[in-house]
Structure 1
Amino acid sequence: MAEHRSMQRAALLDAARSLLSEGGTEALTFPALAERTGLARSSVYEYFRSRAAVVEELCAVDFPVWAAEVAAAMERVPSAEGKVEAYVRRQLALVGDRRHRAVVAISASELDAGAREKIRGAHGGLVAMIVQALGEMGQGEPRLAAMLVQGVVDAAVRRIELGVEDAAVVTEAAVGMALRGVRG
């Protein structure tokens, strides 16, 4: 029974990812989740009490995987500057990933305070990954520099999501701006 519930919950989360990446937050409804999974709408409520609860679960499941991919990319390079570059590049490479599109859609939605706090906490953990590298590069305020680098990444994500410029062009511009900015 527990295994069945776990599989149903995973199917609901997968359906939520698809809905978010295809249609944004407006597409994430309990009737749509029910239709995608073949469950009755009332059954969806047995797993999640609200849309915010679905969002919180997606963040809890997907954000650590995404952060681990960024951390792994950073670990593959020895220099502090290389780590900052890997941090930017890997996040932007993940833009096409369904998990990332879901997180972007989630962050743009109107959520309750608890869900927003979880997203902020997860983002804070991501930003913390480059603080040490920025300190090694001589940044006097590495935490602030990390937040600003993440701002460049966030702006680049939005540009890539819009699809106006080529993702490779946006990525190169973001990497260049981040590295020039942290070199001083």
Structure 2
Amino acid sequence: MAEHRSMQRRALLDAARSLLAEGGTEALTFPALAERTGLARSSVYEYFRSRAAVVEALCASDFPVWAAEVEAAMEAAPTPEAQIEAYVRTQLALVGDRRHRAVVAISAGELDAGAREKIRAAHGGLVAMVVAALQSLGHDEPRLTAMLLQGVVDAAVRRIELGAAEPPERIVTAAVRMVLHGVSR
């Protein structure tokens, strides 16, 4: 019985990833989850009490994998500058990934305070990865700089997801340039 519940939960999370990837947060509904998994709508509520609970479960499942990819890319980079570039490029490369849609869905604002705090803490762990590289570069306030750097990444993510006029690679290049060189030419 426990194995069956685990399989059903995984199927619901996979369906949620697909729905988010195809139509954003608006597409993530319990009727759509039920249809995708062949479950009755009432059965979906046995696994998740709300859409926010689905998003929280996706983030708990997918964020660590996503963060590990960023960390691995940074560890493979030979210099602090290359680590920062890897930090930016890897996150932006994940924009099209189904797992990324779940992580971005947290901005929908329908999570309760406890869930938001868990996700903020996980996000803080991602930002903490770049602090050491910034310290190596001699930044006076590496934590603050890391938070601002992440703001550039977040803005680039939104630009890519909105289907901006610029091609994604141009947005990525501009974001990397911004975090490494500021507004200097």
Whether TM-score is above 0.5 comes out as yes
TM-score, normalised with respect to structure 2? 0.94
Task: Give per-residue Cα distances to partners, 1:80-112, cap 9 Å, x unaligned.
Answer: 111101000000000110111222133234222
TM-superposed deviation, 1:68: 0.4
Q: Is the 8 A contact 1:87 1:130 kept in 2?
A: yes
Question: Could you tell me which residue of structure 1 aligns to residue 110 of structure 2?
Answer: 110
Question: Could you tell me which residue of structure 1 aligns to residue 28 of structure 2?
Answer: 28
* 2: CA distance, partners of 1:134 / 1:108: 30
Count matched residues.
Answer: 182
Task: Name the SS of the counterpart of 1:158 in structure 2.
Answer: helix
TM-superposed deviation, 1:4: 1.3
In structure 1, list runs of 5 or more residues that go unmatched: none
Question: Could you tell me which residue of structure 1 aligns to residue 126 of structure 2?
Answer: 126
TM-superposed deviation, 1:131: 0.4
Q: Is the 8 A contact 1:25 1:106 kept in 2?
A: no
Q: How does 1:146-157 map to 2 (within 5 A)?
A: 146-157=146-157
* 1: CA distance, partners of 2:46 / 2:27: 20
Structure 1 vs Structure 2: percent identity of aligned residues? 80
* 2: CA distance, partners of 1:138 / 1:108: 36
Question: Could you tell me which residue of structure 2 aligns to residue 179 of structure 1?
Answer: 180
Q: C-alpha root-mean-square deviation of aligned residues, in Å?
A: 1.3
In structure 2, list runs of 5 or more residues that go unmatched: none
* 2: CA distance, partners of 1:105 / 1:20: 8
Q: How does 1:1-184 map to 2 (within 5 A)?
A: 1-164=1-164, 165-181=166-182
TM-superposed deviation, 1:162: 1.3
